[in-house]
Amino acid sequence: MHDFIALKLNCPLCEKSLMDTQTLIDNLPGVKLNISFDDQQGVIHLSAIYGSYNYTTNIKIPLGKEATFSCPHCKEPIVSEIKCEVCSAHSVPLKIEDNGIVRICSRAGCKNHYVEFEDLSHALEHFYVYFDYGDASRVKKPLTESNATPDADKEIVKSGTFLRTYCPHCEDSLYKNRAIEFKITGKDGEEGILQLSPFLNVFTNESTFYIPEGEPVKNVRCPHCDESLLRKGEDCPECGEAIVSVSVAALSKIIDFYFCSKKGCHWHGMSQEDIDDIIIEDSSEW
């Protein structure tokens, strides 16, 4: 599920970039498109990560409604006569920066999409070369109390490290189906499953019900013992929402690892005791 590839997309008509560095989805520039249906018009930002269904929009799109997508530069509708194989709605072709097309379904709620490459050599480049979205101004300092230079005696958990994650209550592994899996309760009481990337500073996620960007979940529980993983009496220092506590196997010990319960907030940290021994590497490119 989390073998995600980040794509840079252009309008297939005017070929201008659709990437919006001012609006981040999954911690990467979102794909900006104009969207309309019936008499409503607005803007939607899609995740640039192939396989992620996260997005933000300033209009409410009813599930099952077929929308029209258009380029924010040339204003022309982006539509194809090729129909979605799942629901028969029109597909929306978006040009991959230098080769190929990604097609998404125009019907709200349909998750069908696929990539077409024009030749295999370019396809391999896109699947094995990391797309550079780095911006030095967005690089955060390591999550230590003093933000000092890392000590030679401290272990450094680098970005991209696979996190072996366990429930702090029953100590059972939370890793399932190539993801870290939790039971969650939404703001309005919906019950479902949340899957997070198991790699440090990779913020991709999937849930069985839609969680708007910037909205916290009401509760996060272990799928085995059903105990709440919210840490009582502590809130996220960046956004003020509740934080989730799990156990993570670092290089030589089990540490208490915390992350924010609000979708879109990428704060994470450790206990003060673990900060004395371990540094979590942070990077804007994950």
Domain ranges of the chain: 5-128, 136-280
The two tokens of residue 95 are 């040009």
Single-letter amino acid, residue 179: A
Say if residues 14 and 135 touch (Cβ distance below 8 Å). Answer: no
Tell me how far CA of residue 143 lies from CA of 5, 27, 109, 203, 257, in angstroms.
27, 18, 37, 17, 12
* Higher-pLDDT residue of 170, 148: 170
**Single-letter amino acid code for the residue at 253:** K
* Residue 167: band (very low, low, confident or very high) from pLDDT cuts 50, 70, 90: very high
DSSP structural state of residue 119 = S
Structure tokens at 253: 């010990």
Average pLDDT, the chain: 79
- More confident position, 284 or 184: 184
Q: What is the pLDDT of residues 66-78, one digit of tens each?
A: 999 999 999 999 9
Who's near 270: CB < 8 A, 6+ residues apart?
A: 143, 255, 256, 257, 258, 278, 280
Give yes or no for residue 264 having a pLDDT over 90: no
Nearest-angstrom CA–CA distance, 25 and 32: 10
Q: What's the rounded mean pLDDT across residues 100-112?
A: 88
pLDDT digits (tens, 9 = 90+) for 225-259: 999 999 988 899 889 999 999 988 755 556 778 88
In the block, which residue shows the tokens 């391999």?
Answer: 124
| Residue 25 identity | I
Mind listing the pLDDT tens digit for each residue in 8-26? 899 999 999 999 999 988 8
- Judge contact between 219 and 243, C-beta under 8 A: no
253 touches 277 (CB < 8 A): yes
pLDDT digits over 23-42, tens only? 988 878 999 999 998 889 99
Confidence category of residue 208, pLDDT binned at 50, 70, 90 = very high
pLDDT over 70, % of the chain: 74
Q: What pLDDT, on the 0 to 100 scale, is given for residue 19?
A: 96
Name the band, by pLDDT with cuts 50, 70 and 90, for residue 276. Answer: low
Contact indicator for 107, 64 with CB cutoff of 8 Å: yes
Is the pLDDT at 263 greater than 90? The verdict is no
Per-residue pLDDT reduced to its tens digit, 119-147: 544 544 544 444 333 333 333 333 333 44
Q: Report the predicted TM-score, pTM, of the whole model to 2 decimal places.
A: 0.50
Contact 92, 106 (CB under 8 A): yes
Cβ proximity of 110 and 86 under 8 Å: yes
Q: 153 vs 85, which has greater pLDDT?
A: 85
